[in-house]
Chains A and B, each alone.
Chain A
Amino acid sequence: MKYIEEFRNDTYAKEVADRITQAADPSREYKFMEFCGGHTHAIYRYGIPSLLPSNVQMVHGPGCPVCVLPMARVDHAIALAHQPNVIFCSYGDMLRVPGSRKNSLLKAKAEGADVRMVYSIDDALRLAKENSDKEVIFFSIGFETTTPPSAAAVLQADREGIKNFSIFCNHVLTPPALKAILEIRDEKGDCGVSLNGFVGPAHVSVVIGSNAYLSASLDYKKPIVIAGFEPLDVLHAILMLIQQVNEERYEVENQYTRAVTPEGNQKAQAMMHEVFELASSFEWRGLGWIPSSALCLKEKYADYDASIKFKVEVLTQPENTGCECGAILRGMKRPNECKLFGKVCNPENPIGACMVSSEGACAAFYTYGRHQEK
């Protein structure tokens, strides 16, 4: 696989790992958060923790769209899927996510709902065209990465007069979530002190550009290094973060220059702005309600909004109180510090959000990292 294997090369990895060891000051601790689930996955899948010195620690952030979706939204999706004459389309890893009473879209499918796994929203639009007698709903979730395709699909449906297509919109935004984490105060009332810097998102940054993080970095005096999802990218970004911390800099640096520009993809941004607007507030699993942190369809496109088109009753139960997902998503606890971890909560039977998706901090740690458990 040309241009991929190069970023998984062990000779370079060893070189960068050696430089990290040299750069890391043994008299201090480095605690960095990788915001994205994609990075969490790469870190564990390639065994990056085993290459880092013990005083460099990675904390797993909330950047997994599956994990941060609150149970009420999953319940809402399941209720929509159960509507008569509906084909409900979803990305694969949403299917197993438990809602209240251990319901899930997979369970809804087994109970007779027409739930289909699709690889892209285009497939859902195609299904709508092929099944004009059915209503096709797409479970739109994700950060800025998956938002432009949703916008493009709505615009296409509008252009082509496809009336039996709608989306259940759950698109969330990265910068507000990043700030929400930095706003978390310790006992003394100081913000974000426990973290020394961030590995910034890869695909999200391709869309929104590196400038989108400038204010977070400046306001909270934290270095942010945008990195690609390949393991060598992650190692390189960690080295850059250590250098910034050592030099007491707090800048937005771009390691992922092969894909990310300061302004991002403006065509995609324009499409997003055409179709979506800021929702006043959105509930994040683990982080609670964050103002202006999510998108909803503009009134102009309300016909494509499944939550308006279908009035359903959603009954939600509260989350398990023993679950530490909130603290883990905020970077205050490690997965194995939760008393449910690996005992009642495991990928087979996930209790909390972080265990649900393979990108979730707990699932990644459980699946790939348990042999290094200390």
Chain B
Amino acid sequence: MKEIENVETQSPRHPRESGESLPRHPRESGDPENKSTTLDSRLRGNDESSGNDESSGNDESSGNDESSGNDESSGDDGRGGHDQQINLTHGGGGRAMARLIDSLFLKAFDNEWLSQKNDQACFSVEKGRMVMSTDGHVISPLFFPGGDIGSLSVHGTVNDVAMSGAKPLYLSASFILEEGFSIKDLEKIVKSMANAAKQAGVAIVTGDTKVVEKGKGDGIFITTTGVGVVPENVFISGDLAKPGDAVLVNGFIGDHGIAVMSHREGLTFHTALQSDSASLNGLVQTMVNAVPSIHCLRDPTRGGLATTLNEFASQSHVGFVIDEKKIPIREAVLSACELLGLDPLYVANEGKLIAICPEKEAQKLLSAMQAHELGKDAAIIGTVIEDPNRFVQLKTKFGGSRVVDWLTGEQLPRIC
């Protein structure tokens, strides 16, 4: 199972008709008392009829981690101090699940939409172009220097929404947990998601939890979906690159991939590198405000810079000339790639973006990026050219020239 990137569904050519103000309120008829409805209200994981909830009492007794199963108000049921584990009842739609949702998800994500405990979140939106994107997150190890699957699942989708120039507003989160997964770890992950969402200024407003039998999952998979609204006069899409445009990146590439690899089982090397995992919506706002005529934006995640440029080349029917000397890459990333036989241009990022804009706006965009914390190491790295072959060419540091092709399968280390 792999992450699916860059599947924004957007219609960039249709500006929304009206104003800027963004939905910030629950549905108008919202009943504040909803917050105190009984625990039987459900954000149900399964599609079974609600009747199942009632019969689930005996499920709980079978779960060995339901130590305080009869005291719903204690709030820590289904988790707690010991190294308790997820079992099938946590996805069964019954009380165990309701308690898990209440005591963990509702608490951590804490927002008015989720607290209503409906199977959906209802919010009003201004007229305009909405953006929606979804991303499944699977990663090994789950915790890595600079982040974890929780923060990653927020950053990934927030970024995919933001790369249309949109302001991301709401997220949904769907969890697939494997039986036996540590509740402590789940708690850490959920808290990390909550933090990441808070920092990005988005709310996780609806969700779903499923538990699969042991051996049928890899601990935890998180799928998040995000929606946002694109400001008027912003039309950003991967098919809008024009010959002559400038190509920019917001900082050092490859940190995430190498940081994760260094902690992967079977690879033993140590590095002080941290993942660059971050929500880029703030930076995108700054960029869009400075240069509304940005043509393309994308976060080069799996497959790295090389893959994103090839995607742009094929979508926009253009070629690229990139100057290797100008690509910001840390010494530690270069060294690790040297040792492992990898090419940093294909290594994953989680807090980077590639921007393409008209050449005459490039300096202005660069200055705006460099003024932002997440863009202080930004650089102009190349140019869009006319090329019916849609090659991404690299002017190598050595002074030569070569193609940077699509990746074939995974990058595998070479023998010698």
Instruction: State the A residues within 8 Å of B (CB).
Output: 1, 4, 8-10, 13-14, 17, 36-38, 41, 44-51, 65-66, 91-96, 106, 116-119, 123, 141-143, 145-146, 203, 231-232, 347-348, 357-359, 366-372
Contact = CB atoms under 8 A, between A and B. Distances in A.
Contact of A47 (B331, B341, B396, B416): B396
Contacts of A91: 413, 415
B415 A66 contact: yes
A1 B335 contact: yes
Contacts of B409: 96, 106, 348
B416 A369 contact: no
A336 to B, nearest CB: 13
Given A91-B415, A119-B267, A358-B414, A4 B338 contact: yes
Top 3 nearest A-B pairs (CB, nearest first) are A47-B400, A92-B412, A347-B408
Nearest to A143: B416
A128 to B, nearest CB: 15
28 contacts: A8-B397, A8-B398, A9-B398, A38-B414, A46-B396, A46-B400, A47-B395, A47-B396, A47-B399, A48-B398, A50-B400, A50-B401, A50-B402, A51-B399, A92-B415, A96-B412, A118-B266, A123-B266, A143-B416, A232-B398, A348-B408, A348-B409, A357-B415, A358-B414, A359-B416, A369-B403, A371-B391, A371-B403
Contacts of A66: 415
A46 B402 contact: yes
B403 A13 contact: no
Contacts of B405: 347, 366-368, 370
Contacts of B398: 8-10, 13, 46-48, 231-232
Given A348-B408, A370-B389, 6 more contacts: A10-B398, A47-B401, A94-B415, A106-B409, A142-B416, A357-B414
Given A1-B335, A14-B399, A49-B400, A370 B414 contact: no
B159 interface: no
Contact of B416 (A50, A106, A145, A370): A145
B266 A92 contact: no
Interface in B309-357: 325, 331, 334-335, 338, 340-341, 343
Contact of A93 (B267, B334, B401, B413): B413
Nearest to A355: B408
A368 B403 contact: yes
Contact of B402 (A96, A357, A358, A368): A368
B393 interface: yes
A283 to B, nearest CB: 19
A368 B391 CA distance: 10
